[in-house]
């Protein structure tokens, strides 16, 4: 598969506090990738496959093959995440991406379990264009297996235990999402 060729470097993930931008409170270092792992529809019998890693240009990539066969249709990656305790409630998460024209999800979980409620928001990509999105806590809605879950507590930054990226679609085929940066504002 063609998408396997773009992943060239795999190493361990860490995070750092950015000192470069006085509006940035926290920046996730994307050069190291070992803590990210795939959770694809194969957990439910599907055949979609995904990988993540750093490509030759130094950016982080989430790539794969999406298939709706066997009731499939999703691919995702996630990792554990501990945010600084002093992150303000009105802080926002920024994500800078270059995609393939598909809509992806940025997701957070408040538990380290494999399954359970996630808080998700969507962002649209444009082929070969770098786009930046900024989301507040209110932008993340509680979901479970593609359905909104009512009457859930609001998400807070200190409660986050995992973050992830997900693609859900009825369109089969290869996908590529390049992540240039993920950071939180003050």
- Establish if 151 belongs to a structural domain: yes
Q: What is the mean pLDDT of residues 7-14?
A: 34
- Establish if 142 belongs to a structural domain: yes
Give the per-residue pLDDT at 7: 44
Q: What is the pTM of this model?
A: 0.87
Residue 13 has pLDDT above 50, yes or no: no
- For residues 61 and 3, give the distance between their C-alpha atoms in angstroms, rounded to a whole number: 10
In this prediction, residue 78 has a pLDDT band, given cuts at 50, 70 and 90, of: very high
3-state secondary structure of 20: coil
Mean confidence (pLDDT) of the chain: 87
Give the per-residue pLDDT at 32: 66
- Establish if 150 belongs to a structural domain: yes
Side-chain half-sphere of 160: how many Cα atoms within 13 Å? 25
The model's pLDDT over 20-64, given as tens digits with 9 standing for 90+, comes to 445 888 999 887 677 899 999 998 899 999 999 999 888 999 999
pLDDT > 90: percent of the chain: 72
Residue 93 has pLDDT above 80, yes or no: yes
Give the per-residue pLDDT at 186: 80
- Establish if 112 belongs to a structural domain: yes
- Establish if 176 belongs to a structural domain: no
- Establish if 186 belongs to a structural domain: no
Rounded CA Rg of the chain: 16
- Establish if 185 belongs to a structural domain: no
- Top-confidence residue, 165 or 128: 165
Residue 4 has pLDDT above 70, yes or no: no
- Lookup result for tokens 């538990």: 111
Residue 175 has pLDDT above 90, yes or no: yes
For 155, which DSSP code? P
Give the per-residue pLDDT at 150: 94
Residue 130: which CATH number? Answer: 2.60.120.430
- Establish if 177 belongs to a structural domain: no
- Top-confidence residue, 82 or 15: 82
- Domain housing 63: 2-169
- For residues 66 and 165, give the distance between their C-alpha atoms in angstroms, rounded to a whole number: 14
Q: Count of domains in the chain?
A: 1
The closest of 28, 26, 47, 29 to 38, measured between CA atoms, is 47
């Amino acid at each position: 598969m063609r998408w396997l060729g773009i992943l060239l470097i795999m190493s361990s993930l860490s995070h750092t506090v950015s000192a470069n931008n006085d509006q940035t409170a926290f920046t996730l270092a994307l050069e190291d990738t070992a803590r990210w792992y795939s959770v694809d529809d194969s957990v439910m019998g599907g055949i979609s496959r995904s990988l993540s890693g750093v490509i030759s240009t130094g950016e982080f990539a989430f790539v794969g093959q999406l298939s709706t066969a066997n009731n499939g249709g999703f691919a995702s990656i996630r990792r554990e995440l501990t945010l600084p305790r002093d992150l303000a409630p009105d802080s926002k998460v920024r994500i800078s991406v270059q995609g393939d024209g598909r809509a992806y999800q940025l997701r957070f979980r408040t538990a380290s379990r494999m399954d359970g409620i996630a808080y998700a928001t969507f962002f649209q990509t444009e082929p070969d264009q770098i786009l930046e999105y900024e989301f507040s806590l209110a932008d993340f809605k509680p979901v479970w297996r593609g359905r909104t879950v009512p009457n859930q507590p609001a998400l807070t930054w200190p409660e986050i235990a995992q973050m992830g990226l997900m693609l859900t679609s009825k369109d089969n085929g290869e996908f590529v999402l390049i992540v240039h940066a993920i950071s939180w504002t003050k």
